[in-house]
Amino acid sequence: MPEPAGSLPVLEFLQRRLDRTSQPDDRTHLRYPTAISELLGFEITAIGPGTASVAVSVDAARHGNQQGTVHGGFLVELADAAIGTAHSTLVRPGESFTSVDLRAVFLRPVWSDTLVATARASHSGRTLTHYTCDVVRGDGMPVVTVTSIVMTLRGDRATGR
């Protein structure tokens, strides 16, 4: 299915934003930036077909849990944002997507740092795509590894999503 008139493929749209070559009238069929990413301060830092990196500066005083470290749910949301961004580069106009599985393995705590979540497709099928996402601290040490399965929705299943 072709892109709607005046609409760019997601990958090209996001690449232009990263390269700072986007024009005010650039559009794509999905919403960017997403509301949740804006709220949480996430920034896309790299993009490619089926891959994306998303960064955020964290501090336990703002993003913390009861133990005084950055909350695990926040870390998973960061990974999910990277996975969703990576998958959006693969969907076409008229398609949408949803996560059907998300699993996190927490490796070490973080208190205050810049985190980068890098997602990549490890297997792409017609409907299901498997992702791995590593969230690392500024020193390169991994904080959490998230795996996810994302389902591409087409036709009536994609309508209104």
Strand partners, 123: 130
Architecture of domain 10-157: Roll (3.10)
At 1 the pLDDT is 46
Rounded mean pLDDT for each run of 10 residues along the chain, 161 residues in total = 68 95 91 93 97 98 96 98 97 91 98 98 95 98 98 84 64
State the number of CA atoms in the 13 A half-sphere of 26 facing the CB.
17
pTM over cut 0.85: yes
At 29 the pLDDT is 87
**CA end-to-end distance (rounded Å), the chain:** 17
Token pair recorded at residue 9: 């493929």
Nearest C-alpha neighbor of 74 from the set 120, 106, 97: 106
Q: Where along the chain do its domains lie?
A: 10-157
Between the alpha carbon of residue 66 and those of residues 58, 61, 73, the distances in Å are: 16, 11, 13
